[in-house]
């Protein structure tokens, strides 16, 4: 079944394998984005990696994965809740030509100098943790591997692939404790390295694991469903407009007859006419909390 993260454990070593294959959730995520092929595929790989990250780390709230670079791909942003509600967006420099072969995990030509910031917002404790990772080897997967190594102290390998229909990822991790022999970990990596982008896109989790580890003893655990979820809401947009100030909002109204705000993630359109705008500033105080649109 698609749109889930499926974990497997080696029976005789503390090694975890996770496979994610997003189809409908991924198509929903990017359908409102008008991106070039290359940027769409990057966003898909980022979405798959973010879903894998969210099932690996213990948190209650959400995870932000934000790539910023001075290359044509200015910004990649994926967010995932602990319930695996996923959304994402990308911003590309004007006139950038970002075409590339489907599935290839390379940032070469897309991102220049830059970094990936991974922020974990624990809403229950109202705490934020942030790890900053340089873009490694022109690859999103390498950058995530570096993050796991540095921030989570979990030796991790990751393979990502995406096209317009499917966003997939394979992750293997050497879990703390246990009696994993070095040769077991090396063998698990060697076998995983034989996976191709076409296989990641075309096979489901069970087929991927069978293809790589048919000679090993692995136990399948319950999969966790991933869905597209955007938390934008009119009251958040209202709070942003209130933050802009009455004069600014009146200027836009005078110029355009209405205020139109589109969600960067899902494309939802929020419209405010004169009456709505007047209501925003009726009592002089924000009507809702300090939520931002994003
Ligand atoms: Zn939205």
Average pLDDT value for residue range 178-204: 94
Q: How far is the CA of 238 from the centre of ligand 1 (A)?
A: 14
- Whose tokens are 């990822």? That residue is 169
Please report the sign of the dihedral spanned by the C-alpha atoms of residue 176, residue 149, residue 171, residue 50.
positive
Average pLDDT value for residue range 39-65: 94
Answer whether residue 273 shows pLDDT above 80. yes
Q: How far is the CA of 198 from the centre of ligand 1 (A)?
A: 31
Q: How far is the CA of 280 from the centre of ligand 1 (A)?
A: 20
Decide which of 151 and 30 is more confident: 30
Q: How far is the CA of 212 from the centre of ligand 1 (A)?
A: 38
Answer whether residue 102 shows pLDDT above 50. no
Q: How far is the CA of 45 from the centre of ligand 1 (A)?
A: 20
User: With bands split at pLDDT 50, 70 and 90, how would you rate the model's confidence at 282?
Assistant: confident
Q: How far is the CA of 44 from the centre of ligand 1 (A)?
A: 17
User: With bands split at pLDDT 50, 70 and 90, how would you rate the model's confidence at 159?
Assistant: very high
Q: How far is the CA of 206 from the centre of ligand 1 (A)?
A: 33
pLDDT for res 100: 56
Average pLDDT value for residue range 78-92: 96
pLDDT for res 177: 80
pLDDT for res 290: 46
Q: How far is the CA of 159 from the centre of ligand 1 (A)?
A: 29
Domain chopping of the chain, boundaries: 4-228, 234-280
Q: How far is the CA of 268 from the centre of ligand 1 (A)?
A: 5
Q: How far is the CA of 85 from the centre of ligand 1 (A)?
A: 12
CATH number of 4-228: 3.55.30.10
Decide which of 139 and 85 is more confident: 85
Could you check whether 4-228 and 234-280 share the same CATH topology? no
Q: How many CB atoms lie within 10 A of CB 15?
A: 24
Decide which of 53 and 98 is more confident: 53
Q: How far is the CA of 111 from the centre of ligand 1 (A)?
A: 26
Answer whether residue 197 shows pLDDT above 90. yes
Mean pLDDT over each residue of the chain, to the nearest integer: 89
pLDDT for res 284: 55
Answer whether residue 124 shows pLDDT above 60. yes
Answer whether residue 289 shows pLDDT above 50. no
Q: How far is the CA of 233 from the centre of ligand 1 (A)?
A: 7
Decide which of 289 and 138 is more confident: 138
Helices 205-213, 182-192: inter-axial angle, 10-degree rounding: 120
Average pLDDT value for residue range 174-190: 91
- Domain 234-280: which CATH class? alpha beta
User: With bands split at pLDDT 50, 70 and 90, how would you rate the model's confidence at 105?
Assistant: low
User: With bands split at pLDDT 50, 70 and 90, how would you rate the model's confidence at 110?
Assistant: confident
Answer whether residue 244 shows pLDDT above 60. yes
pLDDT for res 96: 58
pLDDT for res 99: 60
């Amino acid at each position: 079944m698609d749109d889930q993260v499926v974990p497997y454990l080696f029976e005789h070593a503390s090694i975890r394998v996770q496979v994610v294959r997003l189809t409908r959730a991924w198509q929903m995520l990017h359908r409102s984005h008008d991106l070039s092929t290359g940027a769409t595929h990057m966003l898909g790989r980022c979405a798959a990696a973010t879903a894998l990250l969210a099932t690996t780390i213990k948190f209650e709230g959400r995870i932000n994965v934000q790539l910023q670079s001075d290359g044509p791909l200015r910004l990649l942003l994926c967010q995932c809740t602990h319930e695996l509600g996923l959304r994402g967006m990308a911003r590309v420099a004007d006139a950038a030509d970002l075409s590339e072969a489907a599935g290839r995990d390379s940032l070469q030509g897309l991102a220049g100098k830059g970094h990936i910031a991974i922020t974990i917002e624990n809403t229950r404790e109202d705490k934020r943790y942030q790890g900053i990772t340089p873009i490694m080897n022109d690859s999103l997967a390498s950058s995530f591997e570096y993050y796991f190594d540095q921030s989570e102290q979990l030796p991790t390998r990751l393979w990502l692939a995406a096209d317009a229909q499917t966003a997939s990822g394979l992750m293997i991790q050497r879990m703390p404790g246990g009696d994993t022999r070095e040769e077991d970990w090396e063998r698990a990596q060697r076998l995983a390295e034989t996976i191709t982008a076409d296989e990641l896109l075309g096979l489901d989790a069970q087929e991927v694991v069978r293809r790589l580890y048919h000679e090993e003893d692995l136990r399948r655990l319950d999969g966790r469903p991933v869905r597209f979820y955007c938390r934008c809401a009119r009251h958040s947009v209202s709070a942003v407009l209130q933050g802009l100030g009455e004069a600014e909002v009146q200027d836009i109204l005078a110029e355009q007859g209405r205020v139109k705000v589109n969600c960067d993630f899902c494309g939802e359109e929020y419209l405010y006419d004169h009456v709505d705008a007047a209501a925003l500033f009726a009592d002089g105080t924000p009507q809702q909390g300090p939520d931002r649109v994003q």
